[in-house]
Amino acid sequence: MCRHLAYLGPPRSLAELLLRPPHSLLRQSWAPRDSRGGGVVNADGFGVGWYPAPGAAPVRHRTTSPIWTDVGFAEMASVTRSGAVLASVRSATVGMPLVATACAPFSDDGWLFAHNGAIRGWPDSMARFAEQLPVTDLLTMDAPMDSALLWLLLRRELRKGTELGDAVASLVLTVAEEVPGARLNLLLTDGEVVVATTWTHSLWWRSGEDAVAVSSEPWDDDPAWLPVPDHHLVLADRSGVEVHPLAPRWGVPI
C-alpha cells in the first residue's frame, strides 16, 4: 500500500505538511498505522506535486528514493510554500516497474492524481480498458503500470469536461466491476477541489480555517480528523467536505 494526501488552504511549507507533523507522510513511509493488502514500508519512491500560485501549473518532484533519504527534498521543502499540494509515498505493487515516472502524482493539464491500491491480473485484466485508448496515449504513458493506466482513463474523461467527482466515481465503479478485488483509493486535485475514493484502503479528512486535508492516515492527533468509510467518495474544497457512498448512481460507466 502507498500513502497519499492532498491539502488545500492557506500556503504552508511542504516541510510543515509532509515532514514535520508527528505522523507525517515521512513517518507513514516507514511506520504506517493502517497497512492493508500487503506491503508495509513505502520505500519505492515518492512524489510531491504543488501549485506555486493559484491558477499556476503544478510543479512536481518524483524520485525512486525513499522520502527519508532525499536530503535535497528536505531542504527544498522547508522553503517551498503552497496552498495546494498532493503527495504520495510508494510501495510498488509486485510486477510494477521501479522508476520515478511510476511514482504519483501523475499530472496533465493542471491536474494531479495518485492511486493507492493495485489491480489484480495486471495487465490482462485491464486490456479491455487499454484498447479504448488512442495508441499514442499508451506509447507515451508514464510507466507500464496500473496507476498510470488509471490516470490515462481518468484524464480522457476530464478532457471531455466531465465533472471531477463524476469522472472519478465512474472510473472506480467500472474498473471494480470488471476486475473484482481491485484496490482503488484514488486522489485527484485541480488545485481548487480534491476528489478522493475509498475502495479497500484507509482515508481520513480534516477541515476548518479555510483549509482541507485528505490523507491515508491522520498526520497528527487532532480530533478533527474523521475516517471515510470504505466504498465512498470525498468531494472537498477549502470551504468543506462532502462524503457520498460510491453507488452506481454516479455517472455513466466509461
Catalytic residues: 2
Cα–Cα distance, 219 to 4 (Å, whole number): 11
Q: Is 217 in the site for ligand GLN (CB under 6 A)?
A: no
User: In this complex, which beta carbon is closest to ligand GLN, that of residue 84 or of residue 92?
Assistant: 92
Ordered strands of the 240-245 beta sheet: 106-108, 111-116, 185-189, 193-198, 232-237, 240-245
What SS3 class is residue 101?
A: helix
Residue 62 lies near ligand GLN (rule: CB under 6 A): no
Q: Is 39 in the site for ligand GLN (CB under 6 A)?
A: yes
Residue 145 contacts ligand GLN per CB under 6 A: yes
Cα–Cα distances in angstroms (integers) from residue 102 to residues 64, 116, 128, 178, in the given order: 9, 12, 21, 23
Residue 43 binds ligand GLN (CB under 6 A): no
* Residues from 169 through 208 that contact ligand GLN (CB under 6 A): none
In the complex, minimum distance from the CB of residue 60 to ligand GLN, in angstroms, rounded to a whole number:
15
SS (H, E, C) 146-198: HHHHHHHHHHHHHHCCCCHHHHHHHHHHHHHHHCCCCCCEEEEECCCEEEEEE
Q: Is 97 exposed, middle or buried (0-12, 13-18, 19+ CB in 10 A)?
A: middle
Contact between 8 and ligand GLN (CB under 6 A)? no
Under rule CB under 6 A, residue 117 binds ligand GLN: yes
**Interface with ligand GLN: number of residues (CB under 6 A):** 16
Q: How far is CA 222 from the centre of its chain?
A: 22
- Applying CB under 6 A, among 70, 146, 157, 217 the residue interacting with ligand GLN is 146
Contact range with ligand GLN by CB under 6 A, out of 20-28, 62-70, 145-153, 157-165: 145-153
| CA pair distance 106, 62, nearest whole angstrom | 10
Binding of ligand GLN at residue 116 (CB under 6 A)? yes
Nearer to ligand GLN, 44 or 83 (CB): 44
Question: Per DSSP, what are the bridge partners of residue 104?
Answer: none
| Residue whose cell numbers read 488545500 | 8
Q: Shortest approach of ligand GLN to residue 99 CB, angstroms?
A: 10
CB of 21 to ligand GLN, least distance (A): 21
Verify binding: residue 63, ligand GLN, rule CB under 6 A.
no
Are 225 and 206 in contact, with CB atoms under 8 Å apart? yes
Binding site for ligand GLN (CB under 6 A): 1-2, 39, 90-93, 96, 102, 115-118, 145-147
